[in-house]
Structure 1
Amino acid sequence: MKNENRQLQEEVIAVHDSIMPKMGLFVGNNLKVTTLLTKMDSLKQVHPDLDTSSLKQQLVNLQTDLKLTNEAMTDWMHNFDPEHENKKPEEVHTYLQEQLQAIRRLKDQFSATEQKSQHVLATYRIK
């Protein structure tokens, strides 16, 4: 059981490590969204047919997703307990299985937010 638990913990950490670099990307994308929101008048001048109210709503929604996704990861990291002192191997196993499911859900959330971010920012040619 100890080997299984060690493998489970390594898997949890590996999923976590695959997500971490995206947090910085999301911070950068959030700055791009903020820039677009503050330059809405300039965008309208360059693209007179642009529906700025629709764009603004799309950008605000993306900004919310970026923020909530990063916060979800921060919360998970804050609550994750890598130490298993005074716990039975069965308890550790159950805990790690739950954490693996949770971090996999977070990975899915990160992927969805990343795709949305790429789509929105590519539409407005923001790199």
Structure 2
Amino acid sequence: MKKIKTTLLTITTILCMAACQNEGDYKVIRKQVLDRHDQIMMDGEKAMNDKMMLDTLALSGLAKLKAQQPSLDTAAEHQEIKRLTKKLDDADERMNDWMHNFKTDVDGKSNQQAVDYFNGQKTKIAQLDSLYKALLKEAAVYLQKFNLKADTTMKSMDHMKM
């Protein structure tokens, strides 16, 4: 019995020491943040494509749709398009602010300070990711209302189909 207690105490001590010493490698966390950023940038491109489609819809598409659907409330649709494009612009602005304020250099910081900083950035970039995903879904639902689809490479607005 004494041998079991001693073994358990030794294992517990080793685990506690490992946990205290293992604060994480900031380089791993920084890479996770940068990788997530790269993924979000692709969503940002999709969001800007959606914004261009919304702008085109507002400028000329609604008039064409009004001719096909006389009951269409184009004033209300313009307001909805304006609301969605503002949300897309705001997300883009938030991403730009994050990129402007993000620092990869950790000179003068301890490993723990760097780990804490990059964990905080990881949280911020996760929030941006969620925002973009929600906005892309919202824009897709709105565009689908008019049977609009965009080619993901979208070289020109000719890819917009009604």
TM-score scaled by length of structure 1 = 0.92
Contact 2:23 2:112 in 1 (8 A): no
- Residue of 91, 95, 99 corresponding to 2:121: 99
Q: CA separation in 1, counterparts of 2:79 and 2:100?
A: 31
TM-score scaled by length of structure 2 = 0.73
Structure 1 match to 2:87: 65
Q: Which runs of 5+ in 1 are unaligned?
A: none
Structure with bigger RCO (C-alpha 8 Å, 6+ apart): 1
Q: 3-state SS of the aligned residue for 1:82?
A: coil
Structure 2 match to 1:74: 96
- Residue of 116, 135, 147 corresponding to 1:113: 135
Q: How many residues align?
A: 127
Q: Which runs of 5+ in 2 are unaligned?
A: 1-21, 150-162
RMSD over aligned CA atoms reads 1.5
In structure 2, give the amino acid aligned to 1:34. D
Contact 2:84 2:139 in 1 (8 A): yes
Over 4 Å off, 4+ runs: none
Greater helix share, 1 or 2?
1
Q: CA separation in 2, counterparts of 1:28 and 1:15?
A: 20
Instruction: State percent identity of aligned pairs.
Output: 25
**Over alpha carbons, which structure has the higher Rg?**
2
Contact 2:24 2:115 in 1 (8 A): no
